[in-house]
Amino acid sequence: MSERVRLIRKDLSVGMTVPWNIYDLEGRKLLGKGQELRSEKMLDELCQYILFHDLPDVQHAVYKDGHGKLNAFEKTSDNIARIERIFDELKGQSDCTDKINSLAKDILSLCEREPDAVLAVIHIEHEYPYVLFHPLQCAYLAVLIARRAGFTDDECSCLAAASVLSNVGMRDTQDRLIGQKEALNLEQTNVIRQHPETTVEMLRAIGYKNENVLTIILEHHERCDGSGYPHALKRDDICRGALVLAIADRYGSIISCRNYRRPLSINEGLQHFFLDKGEHYEVQFSLLLIKELTVYPPGSFVKLTNGEIALVVSRGKMSPMEPLLKSLVGKNGEVYANPLVRDLSMHNFEIKSICGYHSEKLLNFSKIWGYI
């Protein structure tokens, strides 16, 4: 399968310095990485072709600003409080554009500096309400996929903002659905199907003007085969940001515990995208999700062949099959007072399987990840 992603006019703009090489259907290079799209005419000429861009080789943990570690668990708690304030201000119809921009920038910075801990936050059980945590979970995952796809910083910030805001137009319905066990009624179904448009209207009403963010929100439930809503767009009419958010949104939702169904395991979640084969979700972005998470993403619990239960702390530097672990429970069920570091590249035991684990005592993730 080609390591190239389809590119449409909505993904390009005049003045943009393109972060990848752009090719036509025959593989001819039309524009090189780092070149500027100088004029509308240049953009028109380029868009006469069916366009693709290549994928950059992204390594883990790109420390851009070099200010040392950020505690991803503390920052997440802070981000949840910021999301709650933004939602309240939107409800009160206050212009909170600056707060949205600042949160998006901080999400991007955290994902760049602490990608392993951010992945752990996405997967570890927590106490935050779903309506606040899910937007942040989507933003983290969408940015991690987007970095691998070569999105620019500005595109990543737009994606983070869109992820946080995408469902605000159906917040009241979401709150009511939390306690509901029966199927959705007609009115609820309509609210859900209209929420991309309702959200965009709500944001325009407070003076929010970032068209790139609004387009991602409007298209985040469109699907490649045209089965999505609100406009049943097909793959080549959906912007890249919305394609990435659709994957982050779906993955976050299926691994989360909801009152009407059990969460799927990480493997089942990834299999969902593997089996989709581009029907609903863009294949290359689905593959980037699988690549980013690896077989044992940080935050997953695993059973070892020596009988211990361990927590995956970071992805393997040499091999995805050899992540860095911290063992929490011994083979006889004894809980270790201090988790033991297990580097599989240096031990003669292996991971047997991913497993569930419920601790009687609240685990101190900041300590396990070495922040304190």
Which residues of this chain interact with Fe ion, rule CB under 5 A?
166-167
Q: Least distance (Å) from Fe ion to the CB of residue 243?
A: 14
Give the residue closest to Fe ion by C-beta: 167
Q: Least distance (Å) from Fe ion to the CB of residue 246?
A: 9
Backbone angles phi, psi at 179, to 5 degrees: -95, 5
Measured from the CB atom, the residue of 35 and 194 that comes closer to Fe ion is 194
Q: Are strands 301-304 and 351-355 parallel, antiparallel or unpaired?
A: antiparallel
Measured from the CB atom, the residue of 46 and 218 that comes closer to Fe ion is 218
Measured from the CB atom, the residue of 171 and 317 that comes closer to Fe ion is 171
Measured from the CB atom, the residue of 63 and 260 that comes closer to Fe ion is 260
Q: Least distance (Å) from Fe ion to the CB of residue 196?
A: 7
Q: Least distance (Å) from Fe ion to the CB of residue 166?
A: 5
Q: Least distance (Å) from Fe ion to the CB of residue 37?
A: 30
Measured from the CB atom, the residue of 109 and 166 that comes closer to Fe ion is 166
Quote the CA–CA distance of 14 and 237 in Å, as a whole number: 19
Q: What is the DSSP letter of 36?
A: B
Quote the CA–CA distance of 294 and 321 in Å, as a whole number: 8
Quote the CA–CA distance of 316 and 343 in Å, as a whole number: 9
How wide is the angle at C-alpha 220 spanned by C-alphas 24 and 264, nearest 5°? 110
Residues paired with 52 in a beta bridge: 6, 23
Quote the CA–CA distance of 163 and 48 in Å, as a whole number: 31
Q: Least distance (Å) from Fe ion to the CB of residue 168?
A: 10
| Sequence-distant (≥ 6) Cβ neighbours of residue 122 within 8 angstroms | 137, 140, 141, 252, 297, 299
* Beta-carbon-side half-sphere exposure of residue 334 (alpha carbons within 13 Å): 7
* Beta-carbon-side half-sphere exposure of residue 314 (alpha carbons within 13 Å): 15
Q: Least distance (Å) from Fe ion to the CB of residue 199?
A: 8
Residues paired with 4 in a beta bridge: 54
| Sequence-distant (≥ 6) Cβ neighbours of residue 290 within 8 angstroms | 270, 273, 274
Measured from the CB atom, the residue of 166 and 286 that comes closer to Fe ion is 166
Sheet holding 51-54, edge to edge: 4-7, 51-54, 22-23, 29-31
The alpha carbon of 14 is separated from its chain's Cα centroid by a whole number of angstroms, namely 27
Measured from the CB atom, the residue of 157 and 166 that comes closer to Fe ion is 166
Measured from the CB atom, the residue of 218 and 329 that comes closer to Fe ion is 218
Q: Least distance (Å) from Fe ion to the CB of residue 215?
A: 14
